[in-house]
A and B are shown apart, each in its own frame.
Chain A
Amino acid sequence: MKYKFLFVLILIFNQLNAQLNNDLYNLENRIKFANFLYQEKDYIRAIDEFKFILNQTESDTLRFRFANSFLKLNRYEEASENFKTLFLGSLSNEAKLFFFKSNFLKNDFNFFKKLTENKNYIPEKYENEISRLNSISYFLDNEKLPPQETLLKPFDDSLQTKLYFFYQMKKNPPTKNPLQAAAFSALIPGAGKIYTGEISDGIISFIATSLSLYLSINNFQHNHQTRGWIFAGLTSFFYGGNVYGSYVSAKKYNENSKLKIQNEIKNFFRESNYFLPQIEF
């Protein structure tokens, strides 16, 4: 009788235990599934699972993954908030680094620079990485550049030449003087356009202005007053348009030049992952 009772008890206990263990919505299984979604890069679903898990229990690794999922989805504000909650935990250094990364990627560089002033936030282990991000923020925004030595200091020697080139290009981008371009075109029609690199436009302007001027003079010489005045008007129109066009062309050149350099710098840092280490937990 005693043994029979024990059998039944073991049977019931085993079944209950098995059912509890195999409840796919229990905490352990949810963690496994959340990690699977995270590894599969299905961050949007991983966030839902992590959120549920973190309401039940706290884990630095899971919180880090939760925050990083937001970062991967470009939801920087939520990423930053969650990394901040890990500042006092076991992953403090990495969380601080990723906190800075989230704020850096927001593209609000003024706010980012203010954050870097708070020394409590700077992780000892990744101090150099944060300094690099700070330097990069100067390269990417339109604020006044600090001295070259200060800006390039956190980077490796192998990068100095490239970054020096970017520094010079950003500080003194190749420009064309709009007034000079207009003056060139006033002296020789089309010359201003050629000066700004629009060679074919310059040649066409020169031909159109010269031809209409010739026609105007020729018609006046043959006493065709009306046609003479028509071509004179056309000449003035071409001439004036060309002088103004050269001025605009120089301005356009300067804008394009700045934009081109800015894009080149942006792509360089993005492709280098902003010189941040690859960290996964």
Chain B
Amino acid sequence: MVKKLKLCLIINLLFLPIYAQTSVDEVYSSAEKLFENKNYFNAITEYKRAQFFDNENKYTFDSNYKIGLCYKYGGFYENAIRYFSNASKYCKTIDDDFELKIQMIRVNILRKTTQNAFQLLHQLEKDSSFQNKKDEIYYWKGWAYIFNDDWKNAELNFAKSSFGKELYLLSKKVNNQKLSVTFAKVISYILPGSGQIYAGNYLSGLLSFAWNIIAGYFTINSFLQNRAFDGIIIGELVWLRFYKGNVENAEKYSEQKNLLITNNALKFLQEEYKGLIP
């Protein structure tokens, strides 16, 4: 009889970890519910609780991943990266690994550390295990270029991705609309005011042209009448100022125009684009 009693006790003790794990399961599932309800602050607490008591490491990958996502949605990008990195140590499949790296890239795009995003994308591109994921890699590369304000390369990368068609068209449109700042400056050097007209500021361009003609006339006229000192003073203080201002304005207005174009595109991406965003 005593033997049976001992056996009973041993069986009970063996079952103890199962009860414990059940509690972890419950905490994890409550964290999942909070996550679904977008209550990210409390979700993090519960994921951390589940992770802390999860002696079997059953949820280590998932909880780290989800904590990373919560931090990302809350705008705590530094913490998000930290938890995605933690999760990467417990990846079970190659898909998990890929998904994590893509999340890290997306966070880097969001926090505008695009150089880190490019570095990770470059690693993925070189890795032979992800050869069948090229579509996604090019897609996020395109996004990284958008946040780097390099719409030309964004267009090239979206063109290579099968699900980046809409973004390819958008970046192509932006590229076609954007003005060349160098061109605006060069034509302003040749014909004052033309750079501003090229940037769409017609009145400013015409005024600049007129000021330069008048100041130039007075300068040249002074030299022709042997008033060299007046010529130098007017040329230096008036004409050169207008000439320099015309080039500076050409640069400023074309940059402003480009900013307006890119801002409109970004507004579209933020408010109307239905595809995957970082």
Contacts and interface: CB of A to CB of B under 8 A. Distances in A.
Contacts of A15: 12, 15, 19
Contact of A3 (B4, B20, B22, B44): B4
A189 to B, nearest CB: 19
Given A10-B8, A11-B12, A37 B48 contact: yes
A187 interface: no
Contacts of B1: 3
A29 interface: yes
Interface of B is mostly: helix
Interface string A16-47: 00110011100001001100110000100100
Interface string B17-51: 00110111011000000000000000011001100
B45 A24 contact: no
Contacts, number: 51
B53 interface: yes
Interface residues of B, number: 22
A18 B53 contact: no
A48 interface: yes
Nearest to A26: B23
A279 interface: no
Contacts of B44: 45
Contacts of B24: 24
B12 A45 contact: no
A225 interface: no
Given A45-B45, A45-B48, A11 B53 contact: no
Contact of B23 (A3, A23, A37, A48): A23
A196 to B, nearest CB: 27
Contacts of A29: 53
Contacts of B183: none
B45 A48 contact: yes
A3 B6 CA distance: 12
B5 interface: yes
Given A18-B15, A45-B44, A36 B52 contact: yes
Given A7-B5, A22-B19, A22-B23, A14 B45 contact: no
Contact of B12 (A6, A10, A22): A10
Interface in B46-83: 48-49, 52-53
Contacts of A36: 48, 52
A24 B49 contact: yes
Given A42-B48, A45-B48, A22 B20 contact: yes
Contacts of B49: 24, 33
B23 A24 contact: yes
A15 B19 CA distance: 8
Given A15-B12, A18-B19, A24 B27 contact: yes
A43 to B, nearest CB: 13
B25 to A, nearest CB: 10
A48 B8 CA distance: 41
Contacts of B22: 22
Contacts of A18: 12, 15-16, 19-20
Contact of A10 (B5, B23, B53): B5
A182 B187 CA distance: 47
A80 to B, nearest CB: 25
A206 B244 CA distance: 25
Nearest to A29: B53
Nearest to B21: A22
B9 interface: yes
A109 to B, nearest CB: 33
A270 B208 CA distance: 54
A158 to B, nearest CB: 37
A45 B76 CA distance: 15
A33 B8 contact: no
A19 B19 CA distance: 6
Contacts of B20: 18, 22
A7 B3 CA distance: 12
B235 to A, nearest CB: 15
Contacts of B4: 3, 7
B261 to A, nearest CB: 40
Given A15-B15, A24-B24, 11 more contacts: A3-B5, A10-B8, A10-B12, A18-B12, A18-B15, A18-B19, A23-B23, A24-B23, A33-B53, A37-B48, A45-B44
13 contacts: A3-B1, A3-B4, A6-B5, A18-B12, A18-B16, A19-B19, A24-B26, A24-B49, A24-B53, A33-B52, A36-B52, A37-B48, A48-B45
Interface of B: 1, 4-5, 8-9, 12-13, 15-16, 19-20, 22-24, 26-27, 44-45, 48-49, 52-53
Q: Which 6 A-B pairs have the closest CB atoms?
A: A14-B12, A22-B20, A18-B19, A24-B23, A22-B19, A22-B23
